[in-house]
Structure formats: structure tokens, C-alpha cells
Amino acid sequence: MSKLILSSKKPITFVSGVLIIAAFVNHFFIHIQNISEIILIIASIIGIAPIAIQAYQALRVKVVSIDVLVTIAVIGALIIKNYEESAIVTFLFLFGAYLEQRTLNKTRSAIKELTEMAPESALKLFDDKEYVEVDVDDVDVGDTLLVKTGAKVPVDGTVITGEGYINEASITGESKPVQKEVNSIVYAGTILENGTIQIVTNKVGEDTTFGKIIELVEEAQDSKSEAERFIDKFSKYYTPFVLFLAIGVYLITRDIELAITILVLGCPGALVIGVPVSNVAGIGNGAKYGVLLKGSEVIQDFSKVKTIIFDKTGTLTLGNPEVADITYYTDNPEIANKYLASVESESDHPLAKAIVEYLGIKDLPIVESTDVIKGGGIIANVENHEVVVGNVALLESKNIPLNGSDIKSLESKGNSIVLTAIDGKLVSLIGIRDQIRPNVKRDLDRLKKLGVKNLIVLSGDNQATVDLVASELGLSEAHGHMLPEDKAAFIKNLQSKGEIVAFVGDGVNDSPSLALSEIGIAMGSGTDVAIETSDVVLMNSDLSRLPHALGLVKATSSNMKQNIVIAVGVVIILILSLFFSDWMNMSIGMLAHEASILVVILNGMRLINYNLRN
């Protein structure tokens, strides 16, 4: 029975409202004796039923909720035969809850839109070489799928034939179509705007980037910030306080109507709902603009950040370095290049890939053994020769003589340095240069306008290269030759001084720093590692989303404070009005409460359309 009543709150609210209108119509126009009172009593009983059930459920778990206060107040009003106020209070409470739920659902529109974008079917290639439409749940890793113009990509996959332009707004927040060709990666939930492609499935279902984004946003919206936990705790003690206050007032004044009115006026509804609605709307806006905020706690900490530390490669720069200069110190550069290409082909480091691509050697000698030196390079054995490939520090640790003037010359041009030595002798010096991301200086200037005082770059690259980048971008500090442990130590030092630090990295090489900083911000196109190791993910490695993210969390934090002030202010005004005016009563108090709840919800919903404009 209780489940039926609770599931019927909407029709109960409607019936209650109709009965109240009927009572007033009879009172002012028809004048049938006692009918208005009977109708109002029926409206009160019908209306109080779901509220009383919720109150009972709360008391069973030893919580004095708002429902408890309203139930006691309505029962008290019925006892003293104040039927008009008992009926109006129950109706306003139920109607307010209905409007509250309806408007709250709008703040969750981002996750709803994301869920609706989830693909439901796919054209799967079977053994008879025919494509058949199947449910997306029937697609497995390794299956070949066909995607036609206008269709949603059903899985994460790799293009094996064809080409086209895909709208990746559901993943990156950027509506500009992206060209895809053979070997390009495509993501579930994106839309092929033109062209036809065949893809091989890499990830399905919840394992896709789109699935992880939905899961992340859902978890974030359900999480609680420190402010929310405080308000929950505050409400736990506040509502019993209001109950005892009402009892105390009655014992002193013997005015039961005054005591009942205090119960209604003391309801902390707007206070309880104000902070969550701001958080939900803020997280929803982030998802809309390609910024994934992993929970309400992140919003609180991120809004206070004054220091942001950046990794250089792949963050401030494009992460696609190219060989700019090469100098040989051997009479046989072909052998030097072969050995170098063999060793670097064993690594997935961006500099190594740039060298292998630049040399373009096909038939490589076999690398017999390798020893990866963290933050230094690689020591390998190739055809019984010791080959050392790495930075200056690594070769100096092996006591290999270097050409200092050539190194300084390349470093002064902003090159990263890769040295190669064979059997203890330097054979080549390579300068590799990475381009700074377009518009990154504009984005950093926007961060400064948002109150960030310190913009710092930490890099494993040489100091001259890092200084050049810092000078061009106007950064506060630049530190080169930094190993992962050096970066972590630098962050700990700042934290020991009381600074809240945000670190922006690629989510893979910088995972210790991402984990250590208060706010870890990953640059990455929704990769698993980026999502798992960071607090904030900037989709599509787009640094321009960082100012929006910071502006959003500041606006969300401010919005929460506004809602708290509104909620507390309304309660104070109502209580004071009760004691120092003649016009305050239960009905007006409940109406003011429901109005304040709608005000804080609508105030929070403004964040859905937030967009940084500087």
C-alpha cells in the first residue's frame, strides 16, 4: 500500500489541489454549510499520506527529516481545526517536490543526452561476406563492421577501408568534423557525416571511450562534495533542533499554532537541495564541452587552484616532434644510423618515434638486449656492440666524451638532444624540435585572468629548450632535466607551503604527478589511462578546454555559496517575521519555502549554459 501511495504522488498532488479549489469555490460562492471544512479535511488526509510514509521511513533509520516536521505540523493543524492551512501546506509541499524533481531532471540533461547518443545497432560482417544489422551487444572485439553516411559508430575501432568525416562532439565536445582514413581510430557514439568506412572492433559496450564517459559523468553526479557532506550532517542535527524549539515554544507560550508554524518555517529544503543542484549542473556542463570532472570534490579543490604545473611534450607542445638537425662524429654514419634506428625502434617514446621515422631504415640489425634507464635513455647490445642512446646525463654517467659546443648550439635553438655512442665513442648528435600548440598562449593568458598566479613547466628536456618555451608562453617558472621523481618532489615542496596544485600531463608518463597533485588534469582523447589516473580529463587533448574548466568550477563554487545564502536567508527572514509581524502563518511560510527551493534550483540550472567569454 505504501509503495502505491508513494508512486502516486503526482495524482495525489493534483487531487489535493482540485479539492482545495473546490473548498474555496464553495466558501466564496456556493455557501453550503460545513462542505468546505469536509473537503479541506479530505484534502489534508490525502495529501499527508505520502508525506507521513516518508516521515515514518526516515524515523525508522533514526533520521528526523523535513517530512517529519511537516507531518507533525499538519496533524497539529488538524487537531486545532485549522483545516485551511493543513490542506494548503500538504499541497504546497507535494507540489514543490514535484517541481523540484522536474527541474532537477533538467540539470541532468547532459547525461541524458549522452545516454540517448549511445548506438543501438551495427552492420556486422559474417562469414558469408554479407553485412547484417545486429544489436550492438552482439558485437565482439575483432568483428568487422560497416558504417554508412549518417550512422553512429557503434564501437571503438580502427578504420580498415574507406574514409570520411566524423562528428566527434559526443567525445570531445567539438562539433567540427574530423577526417578519418585507413588506420584512424574511431569512437563509439560519434557520427559519420559523409563517406563509408569499414572498421575492425577494438572495444565494445562499457569498455568503449563513450561508455567510460557516461559511467564517469554518472559517478561524478552521484558523488558528494565536502560542502554537501557538511549540509547533510547539518540537516541531521538541524531538523531535530527545530522540533525541540517548537516544543519549547509551546511549553513556554502554550500557543500550539505558533509551535506548529515554527515546524513549517524551519524546514531546510532549499539548503539541502541547493548545493547538489549546482554540482550536477556544473558537471553536466563540463560533459557538454568536453571537460570530464570526476566528482563534486574536484570542483571544490579545483576552484581554489592558484598554481598550475604543465608537462611540456604533448601538453604545451603538439607531442609530434621532428628531427631538425643531425651531426655525425664517425666516418661510417650508415652503421651509426642502423644501430640507432634498431635501438629506438624498441621504444615508444615520441623522440624515438621521430628518429625512426626520420631515418626510414627498413632492414635493421637485431637488438640482443636492452636496459632502459628511467629518464635517461637506453643501453643496448647490437651485433656485439654496446650502443648508448639518450640524453647528456646518461652519456656523462658512462664517461663518454661529448662535444659541448655543438650541444649548446642545438639547445639554444630549442631542440631536444639525443646522443648516440657506440662502444664508448660519440657517433651522432640529433636535435629534435616539437611545435608549441596553436593558441596555447591565449589559453594561458585566460588562466591568468581567472586568478592563476603561477604557471610552471616541468620537463625532462634540457633547460635551454624549456626556457625557450617558457619565454615564448610567458610562464612563471621553467625547470628542465626533471625525472618523474623530481617532478613529484617539486609538487610536494609546493604543497608543503600550503599551495593547492593542479598538474596537467598526458595521463601516462606523468601518472605519479597526476596522482600526487590535488587536481590531476589529463590531456588525452579519452584514453583509459587518462580517465583512470586523473581528476579532470580534457577530451581530444585540447588545452583550450582548460580555461573553460577552471571558469566553470569557479562559477559552480560561487553558485553553491549563493544557494546557501538564499536558503539560510529565507529561513531567518521567515522566523523573524513570525515573531515580529502579524502576517506570517503556515501557508505563507510553506509557500516561501517552496519558492526558495525553486529559486536555488533555477539558479543552479544557469550553469548548464555556462560558457567562458574572455
Q: Please give the positions annotated as active site.
A: 311
Do 262 and 586 meet the contact criterion of CB atoms below 8 Å apart? Answer: no
**Helix residue ranges per DSSP H, 160-316:** 169-172, 209-222, 226-253, 256-265, 269-288, 296-302
H or E segment and range at residue 340 = helix 333-344
C-alpha to C-alpha distance for 553 and 286, rounded to whole angstroms: 9
**In this structure, is the dihedral angle defined by the CA atoms of residues 78, 80, 82 and 88, taken in order, positive or negative?**
negative
Partners of 386 in beta bridges: 381
The Cα angle at residue 541 between residues 538 and 542, in degrees rounded to 5: 75
275 dihedral zone (left: phi>0; alpha: psi -120 to 50; beta): alpha
Among all chains, which residue has been given the C-alpha cell 521511513? 57
Give the contacts of 240 (CB within 8 A, at least 6 positions apart).
64
Burial bucket for residue 496 (CB in 10 Å: 0-12, 13-18, 19+): exposed
Do 543 and 514 meet the contact criterion of CB atoms below 8 Å apart? Answer: no
Partners of 263 in beta bridges: none
The bridge status of strand 156-167 relative to strand 191-203 is antiparallel
Q: Which pairs from 254-258 meet CB under 8 Å and 24+ separation?
A: 256/76, 256/79, 256/80, 257/77, 257/80, 257/82, 258/578
C-alpha to C-alpha distance for 378 and 313, rounded to whole angstroms: 19
Q: Which residue in 520, 532, 482 sits closest to 305, CA to CA?
A: 520
189 dihedral zone (left: phi>0; alpha: psi -120 to 50; beta): left
C-alpha to C-alpha distance for 263 and 259, rounded to whole angstroms: 7
Give the contacts of 117 (CB within 8 A, at least 6 positions apart).
152, 170, 189, 210
Burial bucket for residue 359 (CB in 10 Å: 0-12, 13-18, 19+): middle
Among all chains, which residue has been given the C-alpha cell 559517478? 219
Give the contacts of 80 (CB within 8 A, at least 6 positions apart).
256, 257, 260
In angstroms, the Cα distances linking 202 to 120, 122, 208 are 17, 14, 8
Local structure of 536: helix, strand or coil? strand
C-alpha to C-alpha distance for 204 and 229, rounded to whole angstroms: 36
Do 232 and 212 meet the contact criterion of CB atoms below 8 Å apart? Answer: no
Residue 384 has what DSSP assignment? Answer: T
C-alpha to C-alpha distance for 122 and 107, rounded to whole angstroms: 31
Q: Which residue in 514, 510, 564 sits closest to 534, CA to CA?
A: 514
H or E segment and range at residue 245 = helix 226-253
Length of the chain: 614
